[in-house]
């Protein structure tokens, strides 16, 4: 399970570790170039990646807000904190988008491991 998340953090396919699974910044190819496993395992699959992105973005927001407030207490610079946290909430999800997809695949594959039946039919 740890291996899957390590591969995901390196933007590799968590199932087999294949690289070059992205075309451009965040567009996944449809199947793994190494093991041919289809990335989108069912309809609505990527809603999980959106959830991962949302949860991590909220976590970063809370850490920055709470940390900055505590470190500068009793006189936090509220305007600066507001500007930075709003900018962070706009920019961070875009930056994190590819990682949210690989982390979601790692999480989902940990719960529902790939089996022979999840492989596409051999076209060779």
Comparing CA positions, the residue from 99, 104, 7 lying closest to residue 46 is 104
User: Residue 34 or residue 81: which is nearer to Zn ion going by CB?
Assistant: 34
> Shortest Cβ distance from residue 36 to Zn ion (Å)?
7
> Shortest Cβ distance from residue 82 to Zn ion (Å)?
44
Comparing CA positions, the residue from 18, 46, 49, 55 lying closest to residue 33 is 18
User: Residue 37 or residue 49: which is nearer to Zn ion going by CB?
Assistant: 37
Chain residues in the site for Zn ion (CB under 5 A): 13, 16, 18, 32, 34-35
User: Residue 13 or residue 96: which is nearer to Zn ion going by CB?
Assistant: 13
> Shortest Cβ distance from residue 27 to Zn ion (Å)?
17
Is residue 11 within 8 A of residue 28, CB to CB? The reply is: no
CA distance 85 to 69: 12
User: Residue 11 or residue 60: which is nearer to Zn ion going by CB?
Assistant: 11
> Shortest Cβ distance from residue 97 to Zn ion (Å)?
21
CA distance 88 to 113: 34
Give the tokens for residue 35: 């093991």
């Amino acid at each position: 399970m740890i291996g899957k998340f390590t591969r995901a953090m390196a933007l590799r396919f968590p199932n087999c570790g294949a690289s070059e699974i992205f075309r451009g910044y965040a567009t996944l190819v449809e199947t793994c170039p190494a093991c041919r496993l289809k990335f989108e395992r069912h309809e609505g699959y990527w809603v999980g990646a959106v959830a991962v992105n949302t949860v991590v973005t909220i976590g970063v927001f809370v850490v920055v807000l709470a940390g900055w407030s505590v470190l500068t207490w009793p006189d936090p610079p509220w305007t600066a904190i507001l500007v930075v946290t709003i900018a962070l909430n706009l920019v961070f999800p875009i930056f994190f988008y590819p990682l949210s997809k690989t982390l979601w695949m790692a999480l989902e594959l940990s719960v529902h491991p790939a089996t022979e039946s999840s492989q596409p039919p051999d076209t060779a």
